Amino acid sequence: MGITGSIARRRITVAALFVVGVVAGCASGSQAQPDRTTAVVTTTAPSTPSGVPDLDAGEEIVGDIAVPWGLAFLPDGDALVAERDTGRILRVRPGRAPEQVYEVPGVVARGESGLLGLAVARDYAETRYVYAYFTAADDNRIVRLRLDGQSEVIFDGIAKANTHDGGRIAFGPDGMLYVGTGDAGDGGRAQDPASPNGKILRLTPDGAAAPGNPTPGSPVYSLGHRNVQGLAWDQAGRLFAAEFGQNAFDEINLIEPGRNYGWPAVEGVGGADRGFTDPQIVWKPAEASPSGIAIAGDTLYVAALRGERLWTVPLHDGTLGTPQSRIPDLGRLRTVAIAPDGGLWLTTSNTDGRGDVRAGDDRIIRFPAR
């Protein structure tokens, strides 16, 4: 699938849809009840929008992109978008055709693996560094690259599989690089402190274990995760993560250093009495399968793959409220991100082998800030 599709920015009709029966998520991990049958960087920094995204004013920026996955913004507001299966990085800006600016060497795409998360260095204006998480021949790894130069591996040895590869990377407010990984199909890895799989990792921009991590010299920030594909910080610097469940519950977790989130011993709530940390919100996989997340102001946005919708969740002092279902007419949603101008960018994922492909898929939709 090429990148030469329509660049006429088509207006997208998006009707707000509140799902009756959705139960508030809270610190005890309330369950959102399913209404249909059917996985943060989502953000590269804490969200600092100029306004609230207008979800009733969606506008297509570009279509015909092959399995867009990672999305990160350059300082000028242009976006870099990773094509999972091709290994290409595209530069996307409203009103112009997408431009291929890099092809990551050595990408091996099978199943859910390939070129996944992207992050732009905080000091990009000086260093020109872009970071990418991808699946290679033997493992998942992170490279640092310049769009006009070579790439260098800064972290490797993350076990790979056709599923559960994680892949989100994001720079936190502390300037460190956070990495969401999956268990690569082996739940035991999530509880093994020596394995980088089933974890959220915290690295320096050079790929070393960050100072101040729970265990000195270890990159592990939190453990007990099945498959983390969403990372976002609120205005107070609290980290939230989206996690795919197995058959029972998907999760949004408030991440704290050194905490164990229970997989595979527990899925969803019910692990607190065994020393695990319960999620703030759970969904049935049929209504969620949450991949990318982003935070703008006092709202958490969750892109749902199998659930084929955008969830919006009120956020107050680190606690999540009642989820609301929005934008149910675009199919599978992979990534949501807040642009420097406060607009919300949303990517579909209908060409990933599990969706119903529609004319123009896959596409990027922009919702401007009010």
Mean pLDDT rounded to a whole number for the chain: 89
Cα distance between residue 28 and residue 31, in whole Å: 10
Of 111, 36, 116, 21, whose CA–CA distance to 288 is shortest?
A: 36
What are residue 223's DSSP bridge partners?
199, 260
| pLDDT score of 263 | 98
**Tokens 């990377």, residue?**
169
Cα distance between residue 35 and residue 138, in whole Å: 40
| pLDDT score of 138 | 98
Integer angstrom CA distances of residue 260 from 51, 78, 246:
35, 37, 17
3-state secondary structure 209-220: ECCCCCCCCCCE
3-class SS at 273?
helix
Average pLDDT, integer, range 107-115: 98
Q: In terms of CATH architecture, what is 13-367?
A: 6 Propeller (2.120)
pTM of the shown model = 0.89
Answer for the pair 114, 162: CB distance below 8 angstroms, yes or no.
Answer: no
Is the pLDDT reported for residue 9 higher than 50?
Answer: no
Identify the H or E element spanning 185: none
Q: Which residues of 27-47 are buried (b: 16+ CB within 10 A; e: fewer)?
A: eebbbbebbeebbbbbbbbbb
Q: What tens digit of pLDDT does each residue of 304-345 get?
A: 999 999 999 999 999 999 999 999 999 999 999 999 999 999
Is the pLDDT reported for residue 172 higher than 60?
Answer: yes
Q: What are the residue boundaries of the structural domains of the chain, listed by start?
A: 13-367
Question: Which residue type, as a one-letter code, is found at position 222?
Answer: S
Is the pLDDT reported for residue 15 higher than 50?
Answer: no
| pLDDT score of 50 | 53
Q: What tens digit of pLDDT does each residue of 30-42 get?
A: 444 333 222 223 3
Is the pLDDT reported for residue 131 higher than 70?
Answer: yes
Is the pLDDT reported for residue 2 higher than 60?
Answer: no
Is the pLDDT reported for residue 227 higher than 50?
Answer: yes
**DSSP assignment of 152-166, as one string?**
EEEEEEE---SS---
Q: What tens digit of pLDDT does each residue of 287-296 get?
A: 999 999 999 9
What are residue 241's DSSP bridge partners?
231, 253
| pLDDT score of 179 | 99
Higher-pLDDT residue of 17 and 106 is: 106
Answer for the pair 22, 30: CB distance below 8 angstroms, yes or no.
Answer: no
Q: What tens digit of pLDDT does each residue of 245-275 get?
A: 999 999 999 999 999 999 999 999 999 999 9
| pLDDT score of 25 | 36
Is the pLDDT reported for residue 8 higher than 90?
Answer: no
| pLDDT score of 51 | 73
Lowest mean pLDDT among 15-24, 60-69, 170-179: 15-24
**How many CB atoms are closer than 10 A to CB 149?**
10
Percent of the chain with pLDDT over 70: 86
Q: What tens digit of pLDDT does each residue of 84-94 get?
A: 999 999 999 99
CB neighbours of 343 closer than 8 A, spacing ≥ 6?
A: 49, 53, 366, 367, 368, 369
